[in-house]
Amino acid sequence: MLPLLLLLTPCAEPPVAADLVVHNGKVWTGDAHQPEAQAVAVWRDRIFKVGTDAEVKTLVGRDTKLIDLKGGRLVPGFYDSHVHFLSGGRSLSSVDLKDAKDEAEFGKRLGAFDQNTSRDRWIVGGLWDHDRTFGGALPTAATVDKFVKDRPVFIRRYDGHMGLANSAALKLAGVTADTPDPPGGVIYRLADGKTPSGVLKDNAIALVDRHIPEPTDEEILEGVLAALKAAAALGVTSVQDLDGNGPETRRKLFRTYQRLARDGKLTCRIDLRWPIALYKDLSNTGAAADFGSDFVRIGGVKGFMDGSLGSSTAKMFDPYTSDAKNTGVYVTPTKLMQSYVRGADADGLNVCVHAIGDQANAVLLDIFAEVAKQNGARDRRFRIEHAQHVRPEDYKRFAELGVIASMQPYHVIDDGRWAEGRIGAKRCASSYAYRSLLDAGAKLAFGSDWPVAPLDPLPGIDAAVNRRPLDGGHPDGWFPEQRITVAEAVRAYTLGSAFAGFQEKDRGTITVGKLADFVLLSRDIFAAAEKDRIADTKVTMTVVSGKVVFERK
């Protein structure tokens, strides 16, 4: 902090006045050079001064917008490294099944939504949770038929890795007893071993999905606007959008982002990623990864090694507890994944790949190591999305290979309710292993995986710090040795994601020269007394590019 001595006299109108000054706050900058401050001045879209109230107030001019933070805690804008932004936005107006406590409630919600939705549409989304709603048993087409029979329904498990179709949907899609399981996917069958039950896993989801009409331009815009509104209220100022849409939808989504940016309406910065299988299309345009503006850009490509824990399709070394024959699935054959990664990397694209199971992670680390050797040294920052179950011997490989673990801490408290039932306690000890990864020197980037989990970063930060599953089952923390500090969690959710996106030079901390994105919280989450209430913290104000995009009334 500069001593007041240096200013001989305060100036009246400063030579250049800040556009915005926020003062009287407790600013956690995330910047080791100046970790705490009281005030921040903004000029245009950039942070221009960080310091004491006295220092920063020298930049107040006639037209400067002044905001009193009232002693509140200011942090850098949250950067969510893993969302499905359009799905998330559309889920806000979809049927909401996630916390239905039993079949009756499930049916009631589905029925009500059916009544209120025009008949020409499929019912999709839902984000059901069979552990919570059906006591762990999988529902069937017949279950859904009880409530909605006369139009197609294809609702997803909240992790996206299972879909549940009613009979109308199965019929429209032509999925029958004669339909074989596609590679990397499973068509659940009834007791006869043939009749589809209604549940489809991973690559089998496409058998029905492809019959669902793509969203219209209007639905895409509505979804994005809803997502932007949600993000602003939750202090999320940047996201890496890992997409998940069909090619036509992705194209329209990308255009929508650009159009909104052009009109100054994009209140959350977007980094959009393409499916790795189509990396050549991206290469062929000539547009490299990171091409774009401060508001919208092409981030790179994304692939999937395996499925998910909840669907028992994450690829593990050893079988699932419930089924000695099941070690999960590779949704992309490993040799094909290697060729994609090699090709995309050779073309200079940034690569991130989903790997949940311990074998998927180990094999993916092998692939990254091999490709780095084949293609030669460069600042490449491979990412593993989720890195959920990792063998202890593999922690250090993240650090050695410079592979970023892009993780979503809310999963700890969500999956923590039943994970041991899937893979046993021993493997859970090296799952969601934030402490071990950080101690091994790995870099973390945090995100939400919205809509698989809520977009709100604060429950995620609470989860990383306290590890208390949602059902109250482990009040002292589930594998508490994996807990990390609040500062480590916030860092991963700000600078960590920026670094993962090659943007650490202009985001992720409150530093002079960086983009003016920051968030005022209702609680000082760094205070020891608040440690157990981080999830109850709300965002009071969100600033993006020096403009207030949200204020809690």
Q: Calculate the CA 452 to chain-centre distance.
A: 8
- Decide: is 286 part of the binding site for its own copies (CB under 8 A): yes
| Residue pair 487/527 in contact by the 8 Å Cβ criterion | no
Residue 115 makes contact with its own copies by CB under 8 A? no
Nearer to its own copies, 43 or 317 (CB): 43
d(CA 99, CA 97): 6
Instruction: Pick the stretch among 49-57, 175-183, 354-362, 463-471 that binds its own copies (CB under 8 A).
Output: 49-57
Secondary structure class of 326 (helix, strand, coil) = coil
Residue 353 CA to residue 340 CA, distance in Å, equals: 11
Give the start-end residues of each E strand in 13-84.
20-23, 26-28, 36-37, 39-43, 46-51, 65-68, 73-76, 78-83
CA 450 to chain centre: 5
Q: Which of 126, 215, 292, 409 binds its own copies (CB under 8 A)?
A: 292
Q: Does residue 290 interact with its own copies by CB under 8 A?
A: yes
Residue 279 CA to residue 259 CA, distance in Å, equals 24
Select from 13-21, 77-85, 220-228, 464-472 the region that touches its own copies (CB under 8 A). 13-21
Alpha-carbon distance of 145 to 151, in angstroms, equals 10
Contact criterion met (CB below 8 Å) for 478 and 424: no
CA distance 12 to 2: 19
Provide the pairing of β-strand 26-28 with 36-37. antiparallel
Helices and strands per DSSP (H, E), number in the chain: 19, 25
Nearest approach, Cβ of residue 65 and its own copies (Å)? 16
Rounded Cα distance between 530 and 29, Å, is: 19
Query: x/- contact string, 28-47, with its own copies (CB under 8 A)?
Result: -------------x-xx-x-
The nearer residue to its own copies, 62 or 325, going by C-beta atoms, is 62
Using CA atoms, how far apart are residues 236 and 539, in angstroms rounded to an integer? 10
> Closer CB to its own copies, residue 103 or residue 290?
290
Cis bond before residue 15 (omega within 30° of 0): no
**Binding map of its own copies across residues 328-367, x = CB under 8 A, - = no contact:** --------------------x-------------------
Side chain identity, residue 241: D
Q: Which stretch binds its own copies (CB under 8 A): 134-142, 204-212, 287-295, 305-313?
A: 287-295
Nearer to its own copies, 30 or 292 (CB): 292
Q: Which stretch binds its own copies (CB under 8 A): 290-298, 334-342, 438-446, 533-541?
A: 290-298
Is the CB of 114 or the CB of 294 nearer to its own copies? 294
- Choice between 252 and 443, CB closer to its own copies: 252
The distance in angstroms from the start CA to the end CA of the chain is 33
- From 293-301, 365-373, 380-388, 452-460, give the range in contact with its own copies by CB under 8 A: 293-301
7 binds its own copies (CB under 8 A): yes
Binding mask 296-335 for its own copies (x = CB under 8 A): x-x-------------------------------------
Question: What residues from 428 to 487 belong to the interface with its own copies (CB under 8 A)?
Answer: none
Is the preceding omega at residue 451 within 30 degrees of 0, hence cis?
yes
Q: How many CB atoms lie within 10 A of CB 277?
A: 16
Applying CB under 8 A, which of residues 28, 48, 78, 340 lies at the interface with its own copies? 48
> Judged by CB, which is closer to its own copies: 283, or 313?
283
Per-residue interface string for the shown chain with its own copies, residues 241-260, x marking contact by CB under 8 A: ---------xxxxxx--xx-
Binding footprint of its own copies on the chain (CB under 8 A): 2, 6-9, 11-16, 41, 43-44, 46, 48-49, 55-56, 58-59, 250-255, 258-259, 262, 281-282, 284-288, 290-294, 296, 298, 348, 513
